[in-house]
């Protein structure tokens, strides 16, 4: 049965309503700096079960627990002093953070970094949310609306991206409405997610650090803080489709628009849409039925912010095949290329 989905513009009243709805076991989508999340009380198994159903997400794919980073509502940039410490304290009630995890959290929280760490026996987050694993993914988002809701709720919330499982992630309330209206209780509209690409997921256990998902914190920044290189963990998207990928959500086809996606395009076939990066030659522009540029000036930060919205716009324009120009692997390019490879994977 369809739910009436309340759509509220972000503000103090909406923050209070969102926190109350979460406490009542309801599903609330809200903006984070990366993408919009669909939140449920992490300690309420019935709410978590509804969340999996609303997204049509396979229950073997665990969720990220989001924690507060203090009570300030002005969380811009790296957050007010003390925000990282507050987030670390909140995460410490769920999981054991070793020295590597603490170092990364101190450097990047609140922000687009998710740590996969051993779950405490007394962790209030149930095994449905963590898909039965003995680890839990934890992140402290750095978006003023997300920070305010988490502070008001005063407990962990699980929040996957607020889209149908396997589809293009949402970077605006309109994207969430298009995917989930009638399936969730509330959407807090806080404008466009500034970063546009999900958090970097890093596993820290037994003195070993692995990058499970490239994201908003470039790998080089993680390596700079740790002082050594970090390997990318193999995922199911890579060649052999291992049945137990390290980040269980990283299935081959993911982030996929309706249109077919063709990578590293140097030519455009008749009728194809072009997802450009950097300057576009006249032949390419002329051949494409539609051209959207991730970043005319070739900036991977700008490209990340545009990626999911542009894929959705090309779908909305009725394009059936998207030719994607090459994006360099540097900076956020690693995360962009990861999402594009999944979008292009066989369905």
Binding residues for Mg ion (CB under 5 A)? 161
CB-CB neighbours of 92 under 10 Å:
16
Identity of the residue, 26 or 293, whose beta carbon is nearer to ligand TXA in the bound complex: 26
Q: Facing residues of 31 across strands?
A: 36
Q: Does 135 bind ligand TXA (CB under 6 A)?
A: yes
Q: At closest approach, how far in Å is the CB of 55 from ligand TXA?
A: 9
Supply the DSSP string of 159-189, one letter for each residue: --BSS-TTSPPP-SHHHHHHHHTTTSSEEEE
Of the residues 137, 222, 288, 307, which one makes contact with ligand TXA according to CB under 6 A: 137
Q: Which of 293, 259, 261, 296 is CA-nearest to residue 275?
A: 293
Gap between the Cα atoms of 151 and 339, Å rounded: 31
Q: At closest approach, how far in Å is the CB of 162 from Mg ion?
A: 9
Identity of the residue, 18 or 63, whose beta carbon is nearer to ligand TXA in the bound complex: 63
Binds 175: which of ligand TXA, Mg ion, none (CB < 5-8 Å by kind): none
Q: Does 214 bind ligand TXA (CB under 6 A)?
A: no
Q: Report which DSSP code applies to 157.
A: E
Task: Please give the residues from 252 up to 311 whose contact with ligand TXA meets the rule CB under 6 A.
Answer: none
- The stretches of the chain forming alpha helices (DSSP H) are 12-23, 45-55, 83-91, 99-108, 144-153, 173-180, 219-226, 282-287, 300-316, 333-344
Measured at the alpha carbon of residue 273, what is the angle toward residues 267 and 276, in degrees to the nearest 5? 65
Q: Report how many residues bind ligand TXA under the rule CB under 6 A.
A: 30
Gap between the Cα atoms of 218 and 35, Å rounded: 16
Binds 200: which of ligand TXA, Mg ion, none (CB < 5-8 Å by kind): none
Identity of the residue, 64 or 274, whose beta carbon is nearer to Mg ion in the bound complex: 64
Q: Which of 223, 231, 219 is CA-nearest to residue 100?
A: 223
Task: Please give the residues from 180 up to 199 whose contact with ligand TXA meets the rule CB under 6 A.
Answer: 198-199
Binds 156: which of ligand TXA, Mg ion, none (CB < 5-8 Å by kind): none
Binds 155: which of Mg ion, ligand TXA, none (CB < 5-8 Å by kind): none
Identity of the residue, 146 or 288, whose beta carbon is nearer to ligand TXA in the bound complex: 146
Gap between the Cα atoms of 235 and 213, Å rounded: 9
Binds 280: which of Mg ion, ligand TXA, none (CB < 5-8 Å by kind): none
Compute CA distances 36 → 115, 142, 192, 203, 247, whole Å.
19, 12, 9, 23, 20
Of the residues 110, 167, 249, 333, which one makes contact with ligand TXA according to CB under 6 A: 249
Gap between the Cα atoms of 263 and 252, Å rounded: 15
Task: Please give the residues from 43 up to 72 whose contact with ligand TXA meets the rule CB under 6 A.
Answer: 61-64
Of the residues 160, 170, 214, 257, which one makes contact with ligand TXA according to CB under 6 A: 160
Q: Does 212 bind ligand TXA (CB under 6 A)?
A: yes
Residue 145 and residue 161 in contact, taking contact as beta carbons nearer than 8 Å: no
Residues near ligand TXA (CB under 6 A)? 32, 34-35, 37, 61-64, 112, 114, 116, 130, 133, 135-137, 139, 141, 159-161, 198-199, 201, 212-213, 247-250
């Amino acid at each position: 049965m369809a739910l009436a989905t309340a759509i509220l513009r972000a503000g103090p009243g909406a923050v209070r309503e969102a926190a109350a709805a979460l406490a009542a076991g309801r599903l609330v989508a809200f903006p984070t700096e990366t993408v919009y999340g669909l939140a449920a009380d992490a300690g309420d198994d019935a709410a978590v079960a509804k969340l999996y159903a609303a997204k049509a997400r396979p229950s073997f794919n665990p969720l990220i627990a989001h924690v507060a980073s203090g009570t300030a509502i002005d969380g811009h940039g790296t957050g007010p002093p003390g925000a990282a410490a507050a987030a670390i304290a909140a995460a410490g009630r769920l999981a054991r953070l070793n020295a590597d995890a603490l170092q990364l959290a101190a450097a990047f929280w609140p922000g687009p970094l998710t740590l996969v760490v051993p779950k405490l026996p007394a962790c209030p987050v149930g095994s449905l949310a963590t898909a039965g694993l003995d680890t839990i993914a934890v992140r402290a988002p750095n978006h003023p609306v997300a920070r305010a809701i988490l502070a008001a709720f005063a407990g962990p919330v699980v929040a996957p991206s607020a889209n149908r499982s396997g589809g293009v992630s949402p970077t605006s309330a309109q994207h969430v409405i298009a995917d989930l209206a009638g399936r969730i209780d509330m959407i807090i509209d806080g404008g466009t997610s500034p970063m546009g690409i999900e958090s970097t997921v890093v596993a820290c256990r037994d003195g070993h650090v692995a990058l499970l998902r490239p994201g908003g914190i470039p790998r080089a920044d993680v390596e700079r803080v740790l002082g050594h290189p970090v390997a990318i963990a193999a995922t199911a998207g890579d060649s052999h489709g291992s049945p137990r990928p390290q980040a269980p959500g990283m299935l081959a086809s993911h982030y996929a628009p309706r249109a077919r996606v063709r990578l590293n395009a140097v030519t455009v076939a008749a009728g194809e849409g072009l997802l450009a990066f950097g300057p576009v030659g006249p032949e390419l522009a002329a051949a494409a039925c539609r051209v959207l540029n991730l970043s005319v000036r070739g900036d991977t930060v700008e490209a990340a912010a545009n990626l999911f919205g542009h894929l959705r716009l090309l779908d909305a324009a009725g394009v059936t095949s998207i030719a994607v120009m090459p994006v360099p692997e540097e900076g956020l390019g690693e995360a962009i290329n990861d999402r594009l490879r999944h979008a292009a994977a066989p369905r």
